[in-house]
């Protein structure tokens, strides 16, 4: 759900279920009643089942591989017994039976999905030949009293994520080959190959390391602990097709790093693989771009590729999918390489994750396996990758510096409210008399303290571990706040307006503010534009049938995919998902931070007339913060919409997307508009919305 961060407790009272939720906007713990079907619908709605069901390339190639595998077993005169691990909707099992399999055991650990699969299998007439098993595959047994009567001779799986092995594919395959399938079984997919390419990219590296910043003519440098840190070990999964080749320099070819043959016993133990190549250019080795292919048959004639669009001769033919994307891995440290230099790129993997390292080719003596990267500076625990990019954005920093310079004076007492923010450091560098910052996280305080010490500013900012409503004048040395600042940025925010928590903090601090105190930002506006998505609409599109295979999905799946809590917006990084604006962008609600939080709801209604033809899938929503009367920063559009409707979105924040229940097609001179009604409730911090198209 859009406003859930933690489920603290569940109680049952008079047949009603309540969940304790940490509210990201108000900061309070809310108790919310949930329907009995809430978990079922929400968990399926959050999944990628709709995207997979609409992935024609995936479905067609799986079916081709399954038909070929079933045919090979039949050609040997054997009965075809299929084990389908991670069956989801039961689609691959139904493919197997349609292809002629005698019986299929379909394993699904997620109970709501297993129940849905039973209904779908029954609806399509496959109940007699498909048995749904609601277990983890490693708990499945074989024998007269087991889940399987006999071992399978065809193994079908869809256990993969963007990193290939991140969902535990290797342990599941390892167990299956030892316990559940016959030796020499057929496997679909038959083989997976992981590819990697070493690159130099200032854009990508800005997501991994804090860069020096120019602030009011002075230079702010990162702490040595951050510079030396190998960074976070988690993969950076993105739609790599939306990263322009102009933003990186390839230092080597795309290398096949390793392959896994799923028809043979698989090991989940720690392994490493290396690829040698000659550097194609001078540059800084910083990041590794990675993706993988699935070969559906032993001959490799049916391939499902995750390669980004810029690797295709005809990029427009690239299959789009969101359930599988591409990955960026950051090297433990950047290093200079020269054109023509012989290099060795090494990938290591355990049972769940991959990591990369770079060495000169043929080192003089055997090298130990590179250890998994681990953050030692704490900064990579405080700031996620988009946040690193935001902090490194010099244009954005310039806006804050100009705004701060216009309100700060020599006698200013400044208080900052944001998580892990550099604004209090900027305020000190720009001459504020005294700077305080509310930092509830000990880790955040440690990171900011390291930065201050690295720049000879130790003690320049008082980092206070106190909630805004608990702050007293004693904490401020009996001084009043003359300048209250925030980006605003809070690590608990999911949707753009969750950062209105700043307004709640400002209200709680009202008694500590000097009369006429400067508030930065002074206001915010909720912005809206109606859009046509190139591909993102697929994740919420109706899926009564499956593309590439003629079966019907059960109504429960469709209801779940349509389900929203109060039918709200959901967060998406729109720079990864191209869209066209069909209307102008407009401020649809204003929040005045110079005033305290109102007691009554703020209501805004209106409409945006369509100015371009196209299919309206929904609207994009974001916040624009007005630091001063003439300086603003956007968490959404960063450039004006082009004449053709092209949109440029910030890479630093997610935007809100409200999908229409039924897409609306505008053509010709239709006089239509996107009608909206927004209500901000200060008691709950929610923005309730109703958006439709009116002709």
SS3 of 411-446: the string is CCEEEEECCCCCHHHHHHHCCCCEEEEECCCHHHHH
Q: Which residue has the higher pLDDT, 107 or 670?
A: 107
The two tokens of residue 370 are 């590179």
Q: With the C-alpha atoms ordered 270, 182, 163, 447, is the resulting torsion angle positive or negative?
A: negative
Calculate mean pLDDT across residues 561-583: 81
649 secondary structure, DSSP code = B
Which tokens in the block code for residue 154? 């065809």
**pLDDT surpassing 60 at residue 235:** yes
Q: What are phi and psi of 519, to 5 degrees?
A: -115, 125
Q: Which domains does the chain have, with CATH numbers?
A: 49-158 (3.40.50.150), 192-378 (2.70.160.11), 393-518 (3.40.50.150), 523-694 (2.70.160.11)
What's the pLDDT score for residue 544?
Answer: 64
pLDDT of residue 42: 47
pLDDT the model gives residue 550: 73
Phi, psi dihedrals of residue 428, rounded to the nearest 5° = -65, -45
637 vs 104: CA distance, rounded Å: 50
The answer to whether the CB of 186 falls within 8 A of the CB of 69 is: yes
Q: What is the pTM of this model?
A: 0.92
Task: For residue 158, indicate whether it is catalytic.
Answer: yes
Peptide bond into 521 cis (omega under 30): yes
Instruction: Let me know: does 462 contact 435? Beta carbons within 8 Å.
Output: yes
The whole-number pLDDT of residue 39 equals 47
Q: Of the listed 14, 36, 37, 167, which one is catalytic?
A: 167
What is the pLDDT at residue 318?
96
Cis amide leading into 404 (omega within 30):
no
The answer to whether the CB of 282 falls within 8 A of the CB of 362 is: no
Distance CA 278, CA 274 (A): 13
| Neighbouring C-alpha atoms within 13 Å toward the C-beta of 33 | 5
Backbone φ and ψ for 511, nearest 5 degrees, come out as: -70, -15
Angle, CA 594 vertex, CA 592 and CA 600 arms, to 5°: 50
CB 425 within 8 A of CB 461: yes
Looking at 158, 186, 532, 576, which residue is catalytic? 158
Q: pLDDT class for 269, splitting at 50, 70, 90?
A: very high
Q: What is the pLDDT of residue 16?
A: 46
Report how far Cα 565 is from the mean position of its chain's Cα atoms.
Answer: 20
What local confidence, expressed as pLDDT, does residue 190 receive? 98
Mean pLDDT of the chain: 91
Question: How many angstroms separate the CA atoms of 530 and 582, rounded?
Answer: 6
CA distance 115 to 66: 24
Q: Find out whether 677 and 656 touch, Cβ atoms under 8 Å.
A: no
Answer for the pair 277, 345: CB distance below 8 angstroms, yes or no: yes
Distance of alpha carbon 278 from alpha carbon 252, whole angstroms: 7
Lowest mean pLDDT among 38-42, 111-115, 154-158, 667-671: 38-42
* Per-residue pLDDT band at 248 (split at 50, 70, 90): very high
Contact call for residues 248 and 203 (beta carbons, < 8 A): yes
Strand 513-520 to 481-485 pairing: parallel
Q: Does 557 score more than 80 pLDDT?
A: no
Residue 657 predicted with pLDDT over 90: yes
Better pLDDT: 440 or 31: 440
Average pLDDT over residues 662-667: 89
Judge whether 619 and 528 are in contact, CB under 8 Å.
yes
The answer, yes or no, to whether residue 330 has pLDDT greater than 90, is yes
User: What pLDDT does 50 receive?
Assistant: 75
Confidence of residue 554 (pLDDT cuts 50, 70, 90): low
pLDDT confidence of 668, banded at 50, 70, 90?
confident
Say if residue 381's pLDDT is above 50: yes
For range 131-143, the mean pLDDT: 97
Strands (E), 127-248: 130-133, 152-157, 181-188, 191-200, 213-215, 218-220, 236-238
Here the tokens at position 443 are 């880790």
Mean pLDDT is lowest, of 107-116, 535-544, 549-558, 631-640, for: 549-558
**Helix (H), strand (E) at residue 330:** strand 326-337
What pLDDT is stored for residue 30 in this prediction? 64
Predicted confidence (pLDDT) per residue in 677-686, tens digit: 999 999 999 9
For residues 45 and 80, the model is more confident at 80
Q: Which residue in this structure is represented by tokens 């277990």?
A: 135
How large a percentage of the chain has pLDDT more than 90?
A: 82
Whether residue 72 contacts residue 142, with contact meaning beta carbons closer than 8 Å, is answered with no
pLDDT tens digit string along 472-521?
Answer: 999 999 999 999 999 999 999 999 999 999 999 999 999 999 999 999 99
pLDDT of residue 364: 62
pLDDT score for 14: 36
- Residue listed under structure tokens 């440690």: 446
Known catalytic residue at 600: no
Radius of gyration of the chain (CA): 27
Instruction: Please state whether the peptide bond connecting residue 189 to the residue before it is cis, i.e. omega within 30 degrees of 0.
Output: yes
Q: How many CB atoms lie within 10 A of CB 9?
A: 9
> If you search the block for the tokens 């009011």, which residue do you land on?
216
What was the pLDDT predicted at 647? 98
pLDDT attached to residue 645: 97
DSSP reduced 3-state for 360: strand
What integer pLDDT is reported at residue 637 of this predicted model? 98
**Average pLDDT value for residue range 282-298:** 98
Average pLDDT over residues 313-338: 95
3-state helix, strand, coil in the chain (%, to 5): 25, 35, 40
pLDDT value for 558: 52
Percent of the chain with pLDDT over 70: 90
Predicted confidence (pLDDT) at residue 358 exceeds the cutoff of 50: yes
Tell me what pLDDT residue 23 has: 87
Place of tokens 């690797």: 311
Q: Which H or E run includes 570?
A: strand 570-572
pLDDT at 383 over 70: yes
Q: Tell me, what's the pLDDT at 20? A: 58
Q: Give the ranges where 105-213 is alpha helix by DSSP (H).
A: 111-123, 169-179, 202-205
Backbone φ and ψ of 264, nearest 5°: -120, 165
């Amino acid at each position: 759900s859009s406003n859930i961060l933690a489920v603290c407790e569940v109680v049952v009272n008079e047949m009603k279920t309540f969940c304790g939720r940490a509210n990201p906007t108000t900061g309070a713990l809310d108790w919310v009643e949930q329907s009995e079907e809430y978990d079922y619908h929400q968990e399926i709605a959050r999944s990628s089942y709709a995207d997979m069901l609409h992935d024609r390339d995936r479905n067609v190639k799986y079916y081709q591989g399954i038909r070929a595998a079933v045919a090979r077993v039949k050609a040997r005169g054997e009965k075809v017994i299929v084990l389908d691990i991670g069956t989801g909707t039961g689609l691959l099992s139904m493919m197997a039976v349609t292809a002629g399999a005698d019986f299929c055991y379909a394993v699904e650990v997620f109970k709501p999905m297993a129940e849905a699969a039973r209904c779908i299998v029954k609806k399509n007439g496959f109940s007699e030949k498909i048995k749904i098993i609601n277990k983890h595959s490693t708990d499945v047994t074989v024998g007269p009293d087991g889940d399987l009567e006999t071992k399978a001779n065809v193994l079908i799986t869809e256990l993969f994520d963007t990193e290939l092995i991140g969902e535990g594919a290797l342990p599941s395959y390892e167990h299956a080959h030892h316990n559940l399938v016959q030796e020499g079984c057929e496997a679909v997919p038959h083989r997976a190959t992981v590819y990697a390419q070493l690159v130099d990219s200032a854009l990508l590296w800005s997501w991994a390391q804090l860069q020096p910043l120019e602030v009011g003519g002075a230079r702010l440098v990162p702490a040595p602990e951050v510079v030396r840190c190998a960074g976070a070990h988690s993969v950076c999964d993105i739609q790599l097709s939306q990263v322009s080749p102009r933003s990186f320099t390839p230092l080597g070819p795309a290398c096949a790093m390793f392959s896994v043959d799923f028809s043979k016993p698989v090991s989940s133990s720690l392994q490493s693989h290396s690829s040698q190549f000659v550097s194609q250019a001078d540059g800084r080795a910083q990041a590794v771009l990675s993706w993988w292919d699935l070969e559906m048959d032993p001959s490799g004639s049916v391939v499902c590729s995750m390669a980004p669009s810029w690797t295709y001769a005809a990029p427009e033919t690239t299959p789009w999918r969101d359930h599988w994307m591409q990955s960026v891995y950051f090297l433990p440290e950047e290093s200079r390489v020269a054109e023509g230099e012989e290099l060795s790129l090494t990938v290591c993997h355990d049972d769940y994750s991959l990591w990369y390292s770079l060495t000169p080719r043929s080192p003089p003596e055997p090298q130990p396996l590179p250890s998994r990267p681990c953050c030692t500076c704490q900064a990579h625990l405080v700031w996620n990758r988009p946040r690193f990019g935001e902090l490194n954005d010099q244009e954005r920093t310039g806006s804050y510096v100009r705004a701060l310079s216009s309100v700060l004076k020599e006698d200013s007492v400044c208080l900052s409210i944001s998580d892990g923010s550099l604004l209090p450091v900027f305020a000190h560098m720009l001459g504020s008399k005294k700077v305080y910052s509310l930092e509830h996280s000990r880790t955040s305080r440690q990171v900011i303290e390291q930065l201050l010490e690295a720049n000879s500013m130790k003690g320049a900012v008082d980092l206070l571990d106190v909630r805004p409503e608990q702050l007293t004048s004693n904490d401020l040395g009996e001084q009043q706040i003359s300048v209250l600042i925030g980006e605003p940025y809070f690590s608990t925010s999911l949707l753009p307006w969750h950062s209105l928590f700043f307004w709640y903090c400002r209200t709680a601090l009202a008694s500590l503010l000097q009369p006429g105190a400067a508030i930065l930002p002074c206001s915010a506006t909720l912005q809206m534009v109606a859009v046509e998505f190139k591909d993102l609409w697929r994740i919420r599109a109706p899926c009564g049938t499956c593309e590439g295979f003629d079966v019907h999905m059960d109504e429960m799946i469709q209801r779940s995919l349509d389900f929203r809590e109060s039918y709200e917006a959901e967060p998406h990084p729109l720079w990864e998902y191209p869209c066209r604006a069909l209307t102008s962008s407009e401020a649809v609600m204003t929040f005045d931070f110079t005033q305290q939080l109102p007691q009554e709801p703020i209501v805004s209604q209106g409409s945006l007339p369509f100015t371009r033809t196209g299919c309206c899938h929904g609207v994009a929503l974001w916040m624009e913060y007005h630091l001063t009367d003439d300086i603003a920063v956007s968490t959404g559009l960063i450039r004006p919409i082009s004449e053709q409707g092209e949109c440029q979105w910030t890479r630093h924040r997610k935007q809100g997307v409200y999908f229409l229940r039924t897409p609306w097609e505008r053509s010709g001179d239709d006089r239509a508009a996107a009608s909206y009604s927004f209500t901000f409730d200060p008691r709950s911090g929610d923005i309730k919305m109703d958006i439709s198209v009116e002709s």
